[in-house]
Amino acid sequence: MSDSKTTHCLPNLPPPDFVDPVIEAYKKDIDRTLIRENLKLTVAQRFEKYKHFRRFARELREAGQKARMRK
């Protein structure tokens, strides 16, 4: 699903699909299954998913801190 109706980009900069070997090196390890799942969602759903993920990350961080304090 595509949300953006615009396909144009800034004329004074290299195009968005400009091939940079450094970026390509990172790109090969990107998990595209995550991207495909996110592209099925609306923008609002993507932010909602992010909110849940952020809460999960915070709980893990706090659990780690508590575990360290107990040692």
Partner 1 sequence: MESKFEEILPVLISHGVEFILIGGGAAIAHGSARLTHDVDVVYARNTENLRRLIAALKPFQPYLRGAPAGLPFQWDERTLQGGLNFTLTTSLGDLDLLAEVAGGGSYEKLLPFSDEFEAFGTRCRIVNLETLIQLKRAAGRPKDSEAIGELQAILEERRLQEGET
DSSP state of 10: -
Tell me if 42 contacts partner 1 by CB under 8 A. Answer: yes
Give me the numbers of helices (H) and strands (E) for the chain, helices first please: 3, 0
For partner 1, the binding residue among 8, 66, 70, 71 (CB under 8 A) is 8
Tell me if 59 contacts partner 1 by CB under 8 A. Answer: no
- Dihedrals phi, psi of 30, to nearest 5 degrees: -70, 135
Tell me if 35 contacts partner 1 by CB under 8 A. Answer: yes
Task: Check if the beta carbon of residue 16 is closer than 8 Å to that of residue 9.
Answer: yes
DSSP state of 16: T
How far apart are alpha carbons 47 and 43 in whole angstroms? 6
To partner 1, the closest distance from the beta carbon of 38 in angstroms equals 4
For partner 1, the binding residue among 58, 63, 64, 65 (CB under 8 A) is 58
What residues make contact with partner 1 under the rule CB under 8 A? 1-10, 12-18, 20, 22-24, 26-27, 30-32, 34-36, 38-39, 41-44, 46-47, 50-51, 53-54, 57-58
